[in-house]
Structure 1
Amino acid sequence: MKPTSRPWRRLTILLAFTAATGVAAAAELNPAAVAYKLPDQIPWGPVNAAGAQNAVVVGDPSKPGFYMVYNKWTKGNHFSRPHFHPNDRYIVVLQGTWWVGTGPKFDPASTTPMPAGSFVTHFAKQIHWDGAKDEDTILLIMGEGPATSTAAEEK
């Protein structure tokens, strides 16, 4: 190796380090302009008995007003039972396949698959049920609270 190549190597390393730290500094956002949570900062609750897990990202679904909730259905034929809500709800399937059924009779074999990217509206006071079969499914649910649920299953 020539003795003159060593200073160039050091300069190249110094420039690369400066560029990398400059990019990191440029990525800082003004908290007065933007609020964000990275995926590992989303406040997921525990998995409930039906195999679902929730994370509130905007508002409070138990109170009047707009809310947004992530809902994760864990794989393994986990479903809600037939129920309805007092207000319309708007759902985007973010990951996996979500299986949706309607009516008071619970029958997972009769559900319709909604793949990632699907948009679904649950209309107020209309009976539905849903869940995941063989893969985890993540939904973004939006609506006006309070987001109560009323059981409506025919046995």
Structure 2
Amino acid sequence: MPSLNHSRCRVGWLLVAGLWFAGPANAGELDPKAISIKLPDQIDWVANPGGSETAVLVGDPAKPGLYVVLTKWKAHHNSQPHSHPNDRFITVISGTWWVGTGGDYQPDQLKPVPAGSFVTHYGKEVHYDGAKDEDTVLQIVGIGPATSTPAK
């Protein structure tokens, strides 16, 4: 007679196999009132003059309120020293992001921030950033308006 644990194991595998064979083909449609999905080819990227591209995911960075954007720094492009009025919360999605602080632009002093890292840019503090040898994608979350003030 099989043990209780053996029977549970067999039942568990049957459930897994049933889910595997049922697969996505039999999955119901998602309720658009409950969830919204944008696949990578549905995200609209806009080129910026400084060598980056931006995709707004949530909100409007030009207006007051929460926003979420993706920023893609193209290889060999950096910003000049600047600040933002509010804190910004950044996750490095891919590539290596290079960052510096202070009003004296020193690209040879940039520090690497690898993919998977989380960074806070504090409001009104001067920094500069960009990409060296590879494109870098960031997710930036903040409270707008997301203006940028050049350092003097």
Sort the TM-score into its range (normalised by shorter chain): 0.7 to 0.9
State how far apart, in whole Å, the 2-side matches of 1:73 and 1:34 are.
29
Go from structure 1 to structure 2 and tell me whether the alpha carbon gap of 1:65 and 1:20 turns closer, same or farther (over 3 Å shift): same
Is 1:81 matched with 2:92?
Answer: no
Matches within 5 A, 1:36-75: 36-46=37-47, 48-75=48-75
Letter in 2 for 1:116: A
Percent of aligned pairs with the same amino acid: 59
1:31-57: per-residue Cα shift (whole Å, max 9, x none)? 1110010011011112x2321000000
**Partners of 2:44 and 2:97 in 1: how far apart?**
22
Unaligned runs of 5+ in 1: 1-18
| Deviating 4+ runs (over 6 angstroms) | 19-22
Q: TM-score if structure 1 supplies the norm length?
A: 0.81
Instruction: Map residues 101-140 of structure 1 onto 2, 5 A cutoff.
Output: 101-140=100-139
* Amino acid corresponding to residue 73 of structure 2 in structure 1: W
Using structure 2 for the length normalisation, give the TM-score: 0.83
Structure 2 letter corresponding to 1:26: A
RMSD: 1.6
What amino acid is aligned across from residue 68 of structure 2 in structure 1? M
Whole-angstrom CA distance in 2 between matches of 1:21 and 1:116: 36
Equivalent residue of 1:147, what SS?
coil
How many angstroms does 1:131 deviate by?
0.2
Within-5 A mapping of 1:6-25:
23-25=24-26
Q: Distance in 2 between matches of 1:44 and 1:27?
A: 31
In 2, distance between residues paired with 1:91 and 1:58?
15
d(CA) in 2 for partners of 1:31, 1:24: 19
Residue identity in the other structure for 2:56: V
1:147 is matched by which residue type in structure 2? A
